[in-house]
Amino acid sequence: MSSLENIVLRRPTLEDGMGVYRLVESCPPLDTNSSYCNLLQSSHFSATSVAAELEENIVGFISGYIIPDRPNTLFVWQVAVAEIARGVGLASRMLTEILSRPECAAVEYLETTITQDNKASWALFEGLAKKLSVDLQRSDWMDKETHFSGLHDSETLVRIGPFSRITK
């Protein structure tokens, strides 16, 4: 692959769905959703998701959506960055790309869930809160036993904001 400076951020398309699936599959400990789910994320949620492409390969992806009954809140579902593209701020660039879109003009809060041991995600979202000079609130949300029948670690709900319109 060529220089990481050549990474293009764009809205995903239906044709990206399987590339996203393969990317997520290569990024443990991320949960591998069904390929159908990734196809829907890449099409139905393209306005609030982003694909990072390098030489026709998907090297980064963030899926997100505006919470239906809270149009001022973007929920970030999943962040995936290929090993070759890690450590250069790509995830942060992708978040900024989504938040600066017209579809996110009313967004004042970002929410996501993070397992306690996911250091990369904690660093990403703590860094975003710091960059925006806003609070990051944590609360218990999805419990390992109650919600996942012991099959998945508990997820902490993270809420960042309020913040003003983000521009690139």
pLDDT tens-digit series, residues 21-73 = 999 999 988 888 899 999 999 999 999 999 999 999 999 999 999 999 999 99
Which helix (H) or strand (E) is 109 found in, with range?
A: strand 109-115
Is residue 166 included in any domain, yes or no? Answer: no
Cis preceding-peptide flag for 12 (omega within 30 of 0): no
**Which residues have a Cβ under 8 Å from the Cβ of 141 and sit 6 or more positions away?**
113, 155, 156, 157
The Cα–Cα gap between 97 and 157 comes to 22
- pTM equals 0.92
Give the pLDDT confidence score for residue 142 in this predicted structure.
Answer: 84
**Alpha-carbon distances, residue 27 vs 21, 73, 159 (angstroms):** 10, 26, 24
Is residue 58 included in any domain, yes or no? Answer: yes
Q: What is the pLDDT of residues 146-168, one digit of tens each?
A: 888 888 888 899 999 999 988 87
Total count of domains within the chain:
1
Tokens linked to 132: 């925006």
- Cβ proximity of 86 and 119 under 8 Å: no
Give the pLDDT confidence score for residue 1 in this predicted structure.
Answer: 41
Domain residue limits at 86: 4-160
- In the numeric block, the tokens 């443990």 are attached to 28
Is residue 168 included in any domain, yes or no? Answer: no
Q: What is the CATH number of the domain that holds 75?
A: 3.40.630.30
Which helix (H) or strand (E) is 80 found in, with range?
A: strand 73-81
Is residue 149 included in any domain, yes or no? Answer: yes
Dihedral (CA of 128, 157, 86, 119) sign: positive
What mean pLDDT do residues 121-145 have?
Answer: 94
Confidence band, pLDDT 50/70/90 cuts, at residue 145: confident
Q: What is the pLDDT of residues 115-130, one digit of tens each?
A: 999 999 999 999 999 9
Is residue 167 included in any domain, yes or no? Answer: no
Q: 165 exposed, middle or buried (CB, 10 Å; 0-12, 13-18, 19+)? A: exposed
Is residue 49 included in any domain, yes or no? Answer: yes
Give the pLDDT confidence score for residue 54 in this predicted structure.
Answer: 95
- Cβ proximity of 79 and 123 under 8 Å: no
